Each structure stands twice: as C-alpha cells, then as structure tokens.
Amino acid sequence: MHVADLPITALRELLDSRLLSSTELAEACIARTEAAAALNVYASFDAEALRAQARSADQRLAAGERLPLLGIPIALKDNIDAVGWPCAVGTGALQGKAPAADAELVQRLRAAGAAIAGKLGMHELAFGITNHNAVSGAVHNPWDPRCIPGGSSGGSSAVVAARLVPAAIGTDTGGSVRVPAALCGVVGLRPTVGRVSGVGIAPISATRDTGGPLTRSVRDCALLDAVLSGDHSPLQSISLRGLRLGVPRAPCWDDLDPGVTVLADAALAALRDAGVDLVEMSLPGVAETSGEAGFPIALYEFVRDMRHYLEVRQRGITLEQLIAGVGSPDVAGAVGTLLSGGGIPEAVYLQALQARRRLQALYRDAFEQHRVQALVFPTTPRTAARIGEDETVMLNGRALPTFLTFIRNTDPGSNAAIPGITLPAGLADGLPVGLALDGPANSDRRLLAIAAAIEAVLPPAPKAPLVSA
C-alpha cells in the first residue's frame, strides 16, 4: 500500500520504528499534491516548507523523541491562523496576509509534532456549503471533479479523500465539517462547542463555531480530537449488542434521495445484525426551533466576532474592508448589508438565544426519554451537487435551496452545540454517502467510541480515484 494511503495510526508505528521517514512521507504527499493540482484543494502550499519540517521531524525521531503527530503532515482550513502561512479566509481583502501568531489549535498541533502541510480552500468567509468560491476558484470533489466537495471546509474534505495528506482540520458552524466529509467519503467530527479553542480562527459565530478534524478513520479522528482538546482519555471498547441508538425518522429520514435511502437502510440493517437496539423516534419541534436560532445568531455574531478577530489578531483590515472585498455572490448576499441597515437587531438576537436554549432542552429530553446514547441518520439528504448549482438542487423531482438542503440534518445539532460525527456509508451512483451520529453535549469521547464500533461493522470505505493534473 502507498504510504500516503495509510491512516495516522499506521504511519505512527512506521515512523517510530524508523521503517518510514517523515521525509519519505512528505515527498509522497508532495507528489500526490502536484499530480492532483486540478482539484484546487490548497489555497497555499509550499513543498519546500513541508520538506524542511519533515527533515526536522526525522532528526527528532532519530534522537528518540516520540509525540502523537511527530512527522505527520496535517493541512489546515484557510480560516485558521498559522505563522508562516497566509490566512485569507477565502476572501479578497485578506489575500496574501499572514497572521502574527498561531491559532491555539495550531499551537497544539505543533506541540504534538505535526508538520503543517498548507492552507486549504474554503467557501468564502465560511458562509456557504458548495465551496464554489469566486475569489479562489471552486474546489473539486475527488470522486467526480464536476461536483462540489461540500463546504465550507471543502478543501479539508477533498484533500483527505484524495489522499494528499493523512488528515486535515476544518471548522463547523452548521455542518461545515460533516457535510463535506460525507460528500467526499471521509470521517468528520464536530466537537461539542468549547471543547476546541476558537482563538485564532476567523469566526462566523462564537456560539456556533468549532474546529474539528477530517480523517480517513475514526481512530485517527479520535487521535486528533485528543490533541486539539487536550482530552487524552482512551476510547472505551464499545459492544454494539444492546446499545440503544435513536433513529429520528422525522425530520432526518424524510425526503431522501433513493440512493441515500438504500445505503442508510443498509447501515441500519448492519447495526441491527450486530445487536444494536434501534429506537424509532422523532424530534418534534427541533427543525422549527433550530430555524429560529440559527441565522439570527450567526449574522448578529459575525459582525461582533469578526470585527473582534480582525482587531485583536492584527489582520490589517477593517470589517468594512473585509465585507467590501467579498467576491462570491451568495456570500455578498448574506453579509453585504449587515453594516448598512440589514443587520440583526439585538432584540431578535436575544430571542434567537432563547430559542437555542429551548433547542438544547429538546435534545436533552430526547436522549433521556428514549434512553439512547446517540442519534443515527443520513448526514445529507442527497449526494454532491454539480459545481454551479449554487442556488437550487434537485431532490426527488423538486428544485430546493442548495444551502438549506445540504445542512438540513446537521444544522439542528450544530445550533444545540452537541457533538456530531459522520462516517462513510458507501457510494450511490459513484458518489459518497455519509452516516451521521449526534451525541449528548460533552459526550465526545463516548461518541467517538460508538463511531469506531459502528465503523467496524460497516463495509470498508472505498477510496476515491487518484486525480491527475
């Protein structure tokens, strides 16, 4: 097997035993990246910088140093500050501008020995789901370059699916880790909000944002979660026999693409055969309450939190300049009038926060009343759309809003700040389908352990075809 295809857990053993050098691994990643340039996954990539980090890692390994990520290339979404790299947030006004300090999560990655592989393409300002960015160009899905990789962490999902690096870090506000992970066929974790520091991440909303890993296995996801959060508690060995999982038919299983339905039902059958107790249930009021909370919170806090980020992180521009430089029509439509009479009034924002508290109570009650440890559902109602289908997509013969369709199942849990993970469930007409799990607040390690047990009974995740320039 090609070294660039191996998970972090396998690479760790090879590096520590000196059967593989970090330099060899870096060269494999560089060669793959150069061959797949047409995917446009990187916003900035520097082969020589990666080689220098790899040489340093090899010296440290030779001296006997052992760290969880020593010598492992990890790529970062381009809204995460990292010294030595521009942090453009996918927008025009920040192109070429480098931050003065690392984000706290980057400090943790470096302390664990990671080599920063580069900065990844994203939907402009993280305000979208397609990664069709008018400033930096569209990121392409490795399974079909005509299709979107999902967003806003589209580069983070595509780079892992294309096997250019072992793992990447994205951010998730309403589904921006899990949606692209599902559409590209990789694992993606949204931690409980607050578990991973947001300092040094260009924000949408402090209430909703969180960084999270995208990997090719749940074990790799758990390793990165431990590094990012500082919670190194080992994953428990979970028996699926007798495990109670909720199946929220309404709204998460409604109106699915037929191919998604087939794979999701097959996943449930595999879980049932493994002894899982699948509890049929619904989530009454969740979709409506989430809708009351989501956009008002995001749009109100964007003005407050992005202004704070630009000033405190000394990014060299004002919020007014940032918004004036937006190039993508959908993003301009979302943020263009926030400073000129189109903002969210404080009273509406406070009402949205109240709705969020009700939403969190609804989820708490659902877990407790049904005595389930997680909810299981398709991550997205359909597979990846074609690039350019920015406004509407077809689902079961109807044209529906692209953004709302893809975040339909991920946004409520995001607004409730609970942890969620997506696993590859197979291919429908050649495109990946994701199976999602949501858990109670702060159950992240337990959720990862459950996901690892489920991953073991699902069919092995297929590999995306290698793409050449």
Q: What pLDDT digit, counting tens, does each position of 84-111 carry?
A: 999 999 999 999 999 999 999 999 999 9
Radius of gyration of the chain (CA): 21
> At CA 199, angle to CA 341 and CA 337, rounded to 5?
10
Q: What pLDDT digit, counting tens, does each position of 5-48 carry?
A: 999 999 999 999 999 999 999 999 999 999 999 999 999 999 99
- Among 176, 197, 205, 217, the one annotated catalytic: 176
Which residue reads 């407790």 in tokens? 368
Q: What pLDDT digit, counting tens, does each position of 349-360 carry?
A: 999 999 999 999
Interstrand relation of 277-282 and 115-120 (parallel, antiparallel or unpaired): unpaired
pLDDT score, position 160: 98
Measured CA to CA, the distance from residue 141 to residue 155 in angstroms comes to: 9
463 belongs to the catalytic site: no
Which residue reads 């607040």 in tokens? 441
Strand arrangement, sheet containing 244-248: 42-45, 115-120, 73-77, 167-172, 210-215, 187-190, 420-428, 431-438, 374-378, 244-248, 277-282
Angle between helix axes 22-35 and 47-62 (nearest 10 degrees) is 160
pLDDT score, position 299: 97
Q: Residue 301's pLDDT band (boundaries 50, 70, 90)?
A: very high
pLDDT score, position 341: 85
pLDDT score, position 469: 55
- Phi first, then psi: what are they for 172, rounded to 5°? -135, 120
Residue 193 has pLDDT above 60, yes or no: yes
Residue ranges per domain, the chain? 3-457
Measured CA to CA, the distance from residue 258 to residue 355 in angstroms comes to: 33
What are the E-state strand segments in 121-161? none
176 belongs to the catalytic site: yes
Q: Residue 364's pLDDT band (boundaries 50, 70, 90)?
A: very high
Give strand pairing partners of 426.
433
152 belongs to the catalytic site: yes
Q: What pLDDT digit, counting tens, does each position of 49-72 carry?
A: 999 999 999 999 999 999 999 999
Residue 213 has pLDDT above 80, yes or no: yes
- Among 22, 77, 157, 290, the one annotated catalytic: 77
Q: What pLDDT digit, counting tens, does each position of 307-349 carry?
A: 999 999 999 999 999 999 999 999 999 999 999 988 999 999 9
Q: What is the mean pLDDT of residues 157-164?
A: 98
Q: Whole-model pTM? A: 0.97
Measured CA to CA, the distance from residue 218 to residue 228 in angstroms comes to: 15
159 with 59: CB under 8 angstroms? no
- CATH topology for 3-457 is Amidase signature (AS) enzymes (3.90.1300)
DSSP structure class, residue 399: E
